[in-house]
Amino acid sequence: MSPEAKKEKKFALTLPAEELMACGHLACQGCGATLAMRYMLKALGQKTVLCIPACCWAVIDGPYPYSSLDVPIYHCAFETAASTATGVKAGLEATGDTETTVVAWAGDGGTFDIGIQALSGAAERNDDIIYVCYDNEAYMNTGIQRSSATPYGAWTTTTPVKHFKNRPKKDIVAILAAHRIPYIATASVSHPEDFVKKMKKAKDIRGTRFFHVYAPCPTGWKSRPEDTIKLARMAVQNGYFPLYEIEDGEKTTVNLKLKERKPVEDFLRLQGRFRHLKPAEVAAVQAEVDARWERLMRSCAG
Amino acid sequence: MRPRKAKKIVFKSAEEMPLMICSVGHQTHNLTGAWRNIRPEIDLERCIKCGICWKFCPEPSIDVVDEWPVIDYDYCKGCGICAEECPTKCIAMVEERK
Ligand SMILES: Cc1ncc(C[n+]2csc(CCOP(=O)(O)OP(=O)(O)O)c2C)c(N)n1
Ligand code: SF4
Ligand code: SF4
Ligand SMILES: [Mg+2]
């Protein structure tokens, strides 16, 4: 391209330009959860209220009286993201505001573990909220303790190398699907266009909507900060974290079809938390990923 | 461009604080560029304006100025994602001196 033609060329924006997250926030270098928030707000816009329980995001946003986000945030107790969002939604409706989107935004610990009771309650009532779980696969804010979202084989401070986690990750999406809520989607920070598209779709649906967002954490995964997007992309492409949506607990659609899946080993080797794994254990991870993928394919088939 | 570099607000007494729990604005006085060990430098000669660096910056400290990517070094934490993801590899991470 000639320099003149390039000068004329527009800068390509594949996401909405509106920026509701400001610089100066406190996230670590290369934080995936931060990108997840940036993309979600691009999709939902300013008429949004967030309910954030204890998690990294309760800190990233900044100490009182500052906030790095241009939307109201209700900081709530660790186990209450969903019930707080339900209450905020009811309050807004009582004032006649039916438009504002109310989002519960919690980590994997706040969702898979301590917050699951409130989440299940909201889902069973089909309360009109969007629940987003950004999954960094451990309790990162308090120093990398295992959660039920921590995958098989991973090191954390409570699953040290000699006793690494030997149980698979809990299938939170299947749990939510069993509640027959109108919309469930998985998303990854490596595929923001897909995330924004599904978030916009969810915004127009009424009832409980659930997002499971894959958000690499360089600090907790012992990975290089520049590899955040690469790791998230690898997880999508090798079937470790497939991108799909489930409507009404029944209709499953895979958003990114994979002709061939790459082996998970390259993905594991980029992360210090899996460094100790021996070939047999890597094979066990691969077998688990394969089985999960088969299950997903079967549920799509009908 | 977004408004930037808000002043730090200091309440001198309890009376000065707002009665309601509410935010007074961004904490853009917190210049996170100080965290950086390595600095991304874009070679605009080789940039194809694909927007990928802008899309993946977690701060976000890459602005679009006159249709070109411009890094705001007051906030860039030097994570290196932009350099890693740039398809033409026109962003170099160079050691920060000082
Ligand atoms: C009832 C209660 N128990 C424990 C804590 C301490 N605590 C704060 S954040 C956190 C971990 C959150 O983990 P997760 O939800 O995965 O979010 P992340 O920090 O990984 O983003 C814990 C245990 C708390 N705030 N409240
Ligand atoms: S990713 Fe590289 S080529 Fe694309 S706009 Fe940014 S600097 Fe230019
Ligand atoms: S190094 Fe990281 S923080 Fe700095 S501009 Fe690139 S992506 Fe943004
Ligand atoms: Mg977590």
Nearest residue CA, atom 26 of ligand 1? A78
The residue written with tokens 């047999």 in the block is: A280
On whether any CB of chain A is under 8 Å from the CB of B63, the answer is no
Q: Please state the domain extents for chain A.
A: 20-301
Say how far apart CA A18 and CA A96 lie, in whole Å. 27
Q: What is the mean predicted confidence (pLDDT) over A260-265?
A: 96
Give pLDDT tens digits for B34-74: 999 999 999 999 999 999 999 999 999 999 999 999 999 99
Q: With 90 as the cut, is the pLDDT of residue B14 above it?
A: no
**CB pair distance less than 8 Å for B27 and A6:** no
Region class of A239: left (phi > 0), else alpha (psi between -120 and 50), else beta = left
Q: How many domains does chain B have?
A: 1
Third-level CATH fold of A20-301:
Rossmann fold (3.40.50)
Q: What is the mean predicted confidence (pLDDT) over A49-72?
A: 95
Is residue B50 in some structural domain? yes
Q: How far is CA A53 from the centre of its chain?
A: 15
Q: With 60 as the cut, is the pLDDT of residue A127 above it?
A: yes
Q: From ligand 1's centre to the CA of A108, what distance in Å?
A: 9
Q: With 90 as the cut, is the pLDDT of residue A287 above it?
A: yes
pLDDT of residue A302: 62
Q: What is the mean predicted confidence (pLDDT) over A59-75?
A: 93
CATH code of residue B77: 3.30.70.20
pLDDT of residue B1: 47
Label residue A255 exposed, middle or buried (CB < 10 Å: 0-12, 13-18, 19+). Answer: middle
Residue B31 is part of which domain span?
26-95
Q: Is the ipTM of this complex over 0.85?
A: yes
Region class of A69: left (phi > 0), else alpha (psi between -120 and 50), else beta = beta
**CB pair distance less than 8 Å for A230 and B55:** no
Q: Closest CB to A226: pick one of B4, B54, B84.
A: B84
Q: Closest CB to B51: pick one of A12, A22, A230.
A: A12
Q: What is the mean predicted confidence (pLDDT) over A123-130?
A: 98
Q: With 70 as the cut, is the pLDDT of residue A143 above it?
A: yes
**CB pair distance less than 8 Å for A1 and B48:** yes
pLDDT of residue B80: 98
Q: What is the mean predicted confidence (pLDDT) over B87-98?
A: 93
Give pLDDT tens digits for A198-234: 999 999 999 999 999 999 999 999 999 999 999 999 9
Please state, rounded to an integer, the average pLDDT across all residues of chain A: 97
pLDDT of residue A57: 98
pLDDT of residue B18: 77
Q: Write out the two tokens for A285.
A: 């991870």
pLDDT of residue B4: 66
Q: With 70 as the cut, is the pLDDT of residue A66 above it?
A: yes
Cα A131–Cα A137–Cα A141 angle in degrees, nearest 5: 85
Is residue B16 in some structural domain? no
Is residue B60 in some structural domain? yes
- Site to substitute for ligand 1 among A141, A144, A145, most atoms within 8 A of C-beta: A141
Closest to A245 measured CA to CA, from A236, A256, A234? A256
Q: From ligand 3's centre to the CA of B71, what distance in Å?
A: 8
Judging contacts by C-beta atoms under 8 Å, the chain B residues touching residue A20 are none
Atom in ligand 2 nearest the alpha carbon of residue B90: 2
